[in-house]
Amino acid sequence: MRHIAMQSSRLAVALALALCAALAASAYTPPVFASESAPVEVGGRGPSPQAGVESEGESELPWLFAVFFVTWAAFFGYAFVMSKRQRELKREIDALVRALALRDAEKDETKPEDTPIA
């Protein structure tokens, strides 16, 4: 039972490690975005840059950060909810085991009177 209670926390730890690994890797990379490659254009009809807004630069970073933050917050939040449910289920199972064991013990106490020894 302890294993299942730890599953969601393992998920949280694994995701956190993935984030840390990516950040650690970035320490060995020049602090610019993919400077090795020239900018490329993704074809197809799609959103075009807003007039008057620079197409590349720091002004767009908050939106990227917001998406990054919301996505990971949602996954960590869901992992937390699952972990909470598992703990509740464990408590429920323990209570049921105790209740049924008590009932069995009561039955065992009354059994000799019901069935005469041959």
The smaller minimum CB distance to another protein, of residues 47 and 112, is found at: 47
For 38, the token pair is: 């020239």
The three-class DSSP label of residue 107 is helix
Q: Is 118 in the site for another protein (CB under 8 A)?
A: no
The smaller minimum CB distance to another protein, of residues 50 and 115, is found at: 50
Q: Is 43 in the site for another protein (CB under 8 A)?
A: yes
CB of 16 to another protein, least distance (A): 9
Which 3-state string (H, E, C) describes 54-90?
CCCCHHHHHHHHHHHHHHHHHHHHHHHHHHHHHHHHH
> Looking at 39, 111, 112, 118, which residue binds another protein (CB under 8 A)?
39
Q: Is 106 in the site for another protein (CB under 8 A)?
A: no
Q: Is 84 in the site for another protein (CB under 8 A)?
A: no
Please give the C-alpha separations between residue 25 and each of 16, 48, 93, 98, in angstroms, as whole numbers.
14, 32, 44, 51
